[in-house]
Amino acid sequence: MSEMTRRDWLEDYVAGTREHAGTISFTEEEIIAFARAFDPQSFHVDPVAAKQSPYGGLIASGWHTMSKIMKLVSGRAVAAGGAGFIASPGFEDLRWLRPARPGDVFDVFIETISVTPSASKPGQGLITQQFTAVDSAGRLVCSVTGKVFFKRRGTP
């Protein structure tokens, strides 16, 4: 994990900031194990059947890719502080643009899109961020927009 700036409060986030969060990778064994538990389609669980699929081989479930991104992003948030974290109202605009295959390694980036103090709750605000995964050729693999409520500095 690269060096992180401590971010405990809404004011610690700056719109337009983009950080490399780290990398995620995939093995055949974990692709199959995840898919057996959560998304048992043949092109996720059976390498032989996957060769006959439109993908031409085994691919990870998009939910597997998103789970790995979320684990990386959440782990960085915890490591960076986040004492003012309140909750997330959810995600928007999830896109799986390229499949993950055994041996793939993706760079994950976090871009802060907006930081908006609440008009109705002056002690908090909303941070909107885009999480992206990019392959070794620089192509976008997966993206999602996440929102998080944070306390403002000085809020009990």
Which structural domains are found in the chain, ordered by start? 10-151 (3.10.129.10)
At 15-61, the pLDDT tens digits run 999 999 999 999 999 999 999 999 999 999 999 999 999 999 999 99
| Closest C-alpha among 153, 55, 115, 136 to residue 44 | 55
Q: Which residue has the higher pLDDT, 83 or 39?
A: 39
Instruction: Give residue 87's pLDDT.
Output: 87
> How would you classify the pairing of strands 124-134 and 105-117?
antiparallel
Q: What is the mean pLDDT of the chain?
A: 92
Whole-number Å distance between alpha carbons of 109 and 48: 33
Instruction: Give residue 117's pLDDT.
Output: 96
**Is the pLDDT assigned to residue 78 strictly greater than 80?**
no
